[in-house]
Amino acid sequence: MKVWREPPGVSIEDKVYPVTPPSMTVKSGMITGEVIDLKVTERVEKGSDRVISPARLTGTLRLQNTSASRTVRLVEGRVRFIDAQGQAIRPGAARTDPIIKFTRYGNEWLDPDQGASYALDVDFPAEALQANRLKEIRLELTYIPSPFRGETVNFPVSIGADE
């Protein structure tokens, strides 16, 4: 978590951009869920609108394992911002897609029919704040289904006399 301190004599405010729609459903194989309370916030100097800290996309990611018999291990989520031409818009100087990590001990496993919530807080590309620039936000989930599988095998048998 980043801690922001205001420079002396400068008044800073959060400039909030609502995301429409503010929530959406997600489905990826046996993982379903929703992203809720989406918004973009940047910190600006009051009066001059000079950007003090870059824009960030925040919200809550709720995921559910819909499998009746398989556990999944969540590895990561990759957030991609797509423009009207279908090209990726990458935020920040590194120009890489933001990653959501699920690696906190015990929190990366979803048992059958189990759900969990994760904070979504990633860099947002400044150029996507321009009107009609951003077309969609893509969430790519990487997970590992449990390596075991349960099967049933029947053996025809009889008890008693040999035939």
CATH number at residue 109: 2.60.40
Is the residue at 162 inside a domain? no
The C-alpha angle 94, 19, 116, rounded to 5 degrees, equals 80
Domain with 136, as residue range(s), is 12-145
Which has the closest alpha carbon to 129: 60, 46, 44? 44
Residue 74's nearest CA partner among 93, 92, 61 is 61
| Residue 157 belongs to a domain | no
Flag whether 3 is in a domain: no
Q: Is residue 27 part of a domain?
A: yes
For position 8, what pLDDT does the model report? 63
The pLDDT, as a whole number, for residue 106 is 61
Segments of the chain with pLDDT less than 70: 1-9, 93-94, 103-107, 147-150, 158, 161-163
Burial 73-102 (b: 16+ CB within 10 A, else e): ebeebebebebeeeeebbbeeeeebbebeb
155 occurs within a structural domain: no
Q: Specify if 102 maps to a domain.
A: yes
Q: Is residue 160 a part of any domain in this protein?
A: no
Number of structural domains (the chain) is: 1
